[in-house]
Structures are given as structure tokens and as C-alpha cells.
Amino acid sequence: MSRGMQATDQNTDVLIVGAGMAGVMAAVELQRVGFRVLVLDKGRGVGGRMSSRRVGGATFDHGAQFIAARDPRFAAVLERERRDGSVEPWFRGSKGGVDGPMHWRGRPAMSAVPGHLALGLDIQLETSVMAVRGEGNCWRAETATGRSITAGAVVLTPPVPQSLAILEAGGVTLSPQLYGRLAAIDYDRCLAVLVVLEEPSRIPPPGGLTLAAGPIRWIADNQLKGISVEPAVTLHATPAFSLEHWDHDRDQVGRILLDAARPWVAGGIKTFQVHGWRYSQPRRFDEEPCVAVSDAPALLLAGDAFGGPGVEGAARSGWAAAEAILGRCRAFRGSAAA
């Protein structure tokens, strides 16, 4: 992996924008069958919304909190990751019961999962893609630092509004029907508070609670979860609270949420940070696991808005995008040979 490379032109078979779960899974699949794959991400680390953060001796999962697998293919990935040490079971069941799927946690924290899956990929971080434009029988991506990358196929995995902005900047036009379908995909916002405590929280084992009322939707004790040495709590506000308070002073918003968390956070607070996820989780999902904006040269949109909810949905969408590119290559080779 490399960071913030200087302006040079580059050529690749497949360019993947976004190194979250969807982008990583698409890249792994395409590289495995022999494509040259380049992944660009504007973030400082791999994983997108599967992110972890250190604050002194405290460690937080501050985006995705757990991974659940319903699809046998994804369950097999988690089993492999368990053997390799990047995930482990956290708890089984839902809403306090013991039935239901296993909820896995990253080891040492959530970002380790995409980080481990991405080993061996060519991923360039801190590289923001501003536009993708058609150029003959390929695509040219332009980055914020003026680099230009030519690719035979492109997969865009940022949240859909961000992918549409990249296409618009490159003058890629979509049919009104497809544009309307994609523009209708909206995301909930989520204000997250990361709290370092003087003493352990009162959250009961296994350390994560979904709350039914009030401004907090989810509260987790990262120490009880096994990822933090120091007492550290993650609070996720409800979509309604996050929308209403999005533009308010973040310190004050954090204090309102801390007050609401008092039953579980009774002792002293060392410090806290507030982070806003503008595109937290899709409010509605497209019916397809990925969407082709163009068949030849291939340009696809993938991510959790397509494959179903959460980390598993993102992985399934990444796989679907990889399979769509492979299918188009086979069809092209078939027609060329005929």
C-alpha cells in the first residue's frame, strides 16, 4: 500500500474506487483470476465504514460494530479469517436472546478484517477520485492531486451519491430511468461518540446493547468486547437524532448523548470525541447486487446499497461486480473468437 503518490499516469485492467468491504472483495476476486487491479481510496486506512480508532490507550470500533453472516460463501470467509486471527466470535443471538446468527468482532479491532483481506492488493490510500470519464474503449479516472489512471473497467464502491458525483464530474450520462433509480438511494446519518472512561461502564456482557427508546440506538463497551485496554464506550445516535443535530455544535451534541447514556456510563469521563457518518447505512436497497452503468467498457456501481445490508451485503456486492466484469470479458472473448 502507498500513500499520496505524486502525479503520474498509470494504466490498469480494473480500477476500483473505494477500499471498503465491497471494493476489497471485488479486488481480491479479480486479482485472483489474473487481472491487474488497482484500488484507490481517499481515506488514510483500508476498510471504509469498518473503522477503528485509538484514543490514548483506548480502542474503539466506531463504524460497523459486528459482522454477521447468513450467506454460506461469506460465512466461509469469516471462518478463514478466524483461522488467520483477524476475527473472532463476539456473541450469538439478537435482542438479548441466544438464537440467531453469530456476531463476529474484528481482532484486534474491526479494521483488521478488511486490512487482512486486502493483503497483497495494490491499494493507494489518501487518493481521492474526482471524476471518471470515457476515453475510447476504456475509462480515465482523475484524482484530486491531478493524477490520471486509465482502466479497461471501473468499479465505483463509495456511497451512491458520491459515486454519482464522480460520474457527473466526468460527463458520464445515465439513462433517466437508471439515474432516478440510483438517486433514490439515500442513507441515514449517524452521530457517533467515542468516550474514554475513568472506570468500567455498566453495560452488561457481552458489551453491546440496541436501545429501543431515546436518542441512542446502540451503545457498546469496547473493553468488554475485548478490543480496548482502557474503558471505552461507543455511542451511536438514532437516525432521527443525527439528522436533527447534524449541524449543531459537536461538543454540545456529545454532551446530550452522554447525558442520555448515564445509566450505563456512571463514572468520570476522561475525554470524548464526536464523529459524523454522513452515509451511515442505506435506507433502501437496490434490487440488483450491483449496477452496470456501461457494459463495454464496463463501469459498475457496487457497495452495501446493492448487496443487502451491512458488511455482508457489501461483500456480496463486491463479488457480484467482479463476476459481472468476468462475464463481460468471457462474452467479449467469445464474440471475438466467433
Ligand X SMILES: Cc1cc2nc3c(=O)[nH]c(=O)nc-3n(C[C@H](O)[C@H](O)[C@H](O)COP(=O)(O)OP(=O)(O)OC[C@H]3O[C@@H](n4cnc5c(N)ncnc54)[C@H](O)[C@@H]3O)c2cc1C
Backbone angles phi, psi at 223, to 5 degrees: -75, -45
CA 89 from chain centre, in angstroms, equals 20
- State yes or no: residue 291 binds ligand X (CB under 6 A): no
DSSP 85-143: TSEEEEEESSTT-S-S-EEEEESSSTTHHHHHHTTTSEEEES--EEEEEEETTEEEEEE
Asked if 46 and 22 count as a contact pair (C-beta separation under 8 A), the reply is no
Number of chain positions touching ligand X (CB under 6 A): 37
How many CA atoms within 13 Å lie on the side-chain side of 73? 10
Looking at 59-67, 195-203, 260-268, 290-298, which segment touches ligand X (CB under 6 A)?
Answer: 59-67
Tell me the residue type at 126. Answer: E
- State yes or no: residue 12 binds ligand X (CB under 6 A): no
CB-nearer residue toward ligand X: 128 or 332: 128
Count helices and strands (H / E) in the chain: 10, 18
- State yes or no: residue 308 binds ligand X (CB under 6 A): no
Q: How far is the CB of 333 from ligand X (least distance, A)?
A: 29
CB-nearer residue toward ligand X: 93 or 267: 93
CA 319 from chain centre, in angstroms, equals 15
d(CA 27, CA 154): 11
Write the interaction track for ligand X spanning residues 173-192; mark x where CB under 6 A is met and - where it is not: -----------------x-x
Beta pairing class for 2-3 and 122-125? parallel
Positions 98 through 117 that interact with ligand X (CB under 6 A): none
- Other CB atoms closer than 10 Å to residue 54's CB: what's the count? 11
CB-nearer residue toward ligand X: 103 or 328: 103
Among 66, 91, 139, 241, binds ligand X (CB under 6 A): 66
Positions 234 through 273 that interact with ligand X (CB under 6 A): 236
Q: Which three cell numbers stand for residue 66?
A: 459486528
d(CA 98, CA 101): 9
Write the interaction track for ligand X spanning residues 136-165; mark x where CB under 6 A is met and - where it is not: ---------------------xxx--x---
Among 16, 26, 28, 64, binds ligand X (CB under 6 A): 64
CB-nearer residue toward ligand X: 66 or 264: 66
Looking at 1-9, 63-71, 171-179, 220-228, which segment touches ligand X (CB under 6 A)?
Answer: 63-71
CB-nearer residue toward ligand X: 38 or 197: 38
Query: Could you tell me which residues are beta bridge partners of residue 235?
Result: 193, 219
Among 40, 117, 182, 300, binds ligand X (CB under 6 A): 40
Sites of contact with ligand X (CB under 6 A): 17-23, 40-43, 48-50, 63-67, 128-129, 157-159, 162, 166, 190, 192, 236, 277, 280-281, 303-304, 310-311, 314
